[in-house]
């Protein structure tokens, strides 16, 4: 719906793909802001860590729990950092991500590197930064 409403403003200065991601980004950002106003609660690390470990868990279950945990960590990031990481996980390169969120490709690459290090520390440190 948002694409149709904003299509009249598409002037071809970027690729159609980038424009679609930009519209989606703006809609998602608006949605996040609305949800925060409604006091929506994201799952916390404590809730994930409180989940019982099944003694008979398989590798697939462990992988699923790890993915859930890293996604919870990503959702705790600042909105712009979270958007960068989600676009990165979708396979977009730094230049495309930069076009979508309005920053340089170099900034995106540097920021993603730093965020990945923070997420790794938090993941292995139980949710807090480990020095």
Asked whether 38 and 116 are in contact (CB, 8 A), the reply is no
Q: What pLDDT does 115 receive?
A: 92
Cα separations in angstroms, 39 against 24, 36, 99: 22, 5, 30
Residue 74 or residue 12, greater confidence: 74
**Mean per-residue pLDDT, 9-25:** 81
Neighbours of 96 (CB within 10 A): 20
- For the segment 104-126, what is each residue's pLDDT rounded down to a tens digit? 999 999 999 999 888 888 888 76
The answer on pLDDT for 103 being more than 70 is yes
Q: Where are the domains of the chain?
A: 2-124
Asked whether 128 and 122 are in contact (CB, 8 A), the reply is yes
Asked whether 45 and 126 are in contact (CB, 8 A), the reply is yes
Q: What pLDDT does 51 receive?
A: 65
Q: What pLDDT does 120 receive?
A: 86
Question: Which residue is listed with tokens 């424009």?
Answer: 19
- For the segment 40-96, what is each residue's pLDDT rounded down to a tens digit? 445 555 565 666 655 445 566 777 788 888 888 998 999 899 999 988 988 889 999
């Amino acid at each position: 719906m948002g694409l149709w409403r904003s299509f009249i403003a598409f002037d071809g200065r970027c690729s159609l793909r980038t424009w679609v991601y930009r519209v989606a980004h703006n809609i998602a950002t608006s949605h996040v802001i609305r949800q925060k106003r409604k006091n929506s609660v994201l799952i916390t690390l404590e809730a994930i860590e409180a989940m019982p470990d099944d003694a008979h868990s398989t590798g697939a279950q462990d992988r699923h729990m790890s993915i859930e945990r890293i996604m919870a960590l990503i959702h705790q990031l600042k909105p712009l950092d979270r958007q960068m990481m989600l676009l990165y996980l979708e396979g977009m390169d730094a230049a495309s991500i930069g076009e979508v969120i309005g920053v340089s490709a170099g900034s995106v690459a540097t920021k993603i590197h730093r965020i990945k290090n923070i997420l790794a520390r938090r993941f292995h440190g139980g949710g807090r930064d480990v020095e």
